[in-house]
Chains A and B, each alone.
Chain A
Amino acid sequence: GQNIDQPTEMTATEGAIVQINCTYQTSGFNGLFWYQQHAGEAPTFLSYNVLDGLEEKGRFSSFLSRSKGYSYLLLKELQMKDSASYLCAVSRSGGSYIPTFGRGTSLIVHP
């Protein structure tokens, strides 16, 4: 089976940096996704990590350590529109690659 943990809620200030952590335990690992979901909207893809290290994409970066079963999503220069839920999802190797999702982290950005 799979176990994915991420904090339920985080708050941060506009302009700041925030790091959302995700830890996972899985039998067979293929890759890790991060999705963003604004209230009442569809989840949208942010990043996908397969290898260890940091992937940077504009204000957002995602890090993966396969040996530690750990990932984080780093958001820089926070904006009010970054208030959303951030979903960590793990894809297993062998058989179906359909990702399993964590509960999501609700990020509130305040002025």
Chain B
Amino acid sequence: ETGVTQTPRHLVMGMTNKKSLKCEQHLGHNAMYWYKQSAKKPLELMFVYNFKEQTENNSVPSRFSPECPNSSHLFLHLHTLQPEDSALYLCASSTSPDVTGELFFGEGSRLTVL
């Protein structure tokens, strides 16, 4: 079992659908992150949670709504998305965002918005 697990791996949705991405980490970390990865662009940090509390929202549109019920689980709720939101959404975890440490990534959820 990998350290960070994301489901679903692939998702196709229309612009009026509501769907959710799920992330689970088994590493005992306190911090969890959502990143967006688009072709030819750097990884973009979206949200940061530390001990279940959101500590960063990187000016993400409200059609993306994160939820962190505990330090092991992270969700990204999707609503009325746009075609330009099609991308790979990566979840990551680390010991803490307040100390230097490597990020452990999941394999991502490939989202296509029609």
Contacts and interface: CB of A to CB of B under 8 A. Distances in A.
Interface of A: 4, 8, 30-31, 33, 35, 40-45, 48, 50, 87, 89, 91, 96-104
Interface residues of B, number: 24
Interface string B94-110: 00011111111111100
20 contacts: A4-B42, A30-B100, A33-B102, A42-B90, A43-B43, A44-B105, A45-B102, A48-B100, A87-B43, A91-B100, A96-B48, A96-B98, A97-B100, A98-B45, A99-B103, A100-B42, A100-B45, A102-B42, A103-B40, A104-B42
The 9 residue pairs across chains A and B that have the minimum distance between CB atoms: A101-B43, A42-B105, A45-B102, A42-B107, A101-B42, A43-B105, A97-B100, A103-B42, A98-B97
Contacts of A100: 42, 45
Contacts, number: 54
Given A50-B100, A91-B100, A97-B97, 16 more contacts: A8-B40, A30-B100, A33-B102, A40-B107, A41-B107, A42-B105, A43-B90, A44-B105, A45-B104, A87-B43, A96-B48, A96-B55, A96-B56, A98-B45, A103-B40, A103-B42
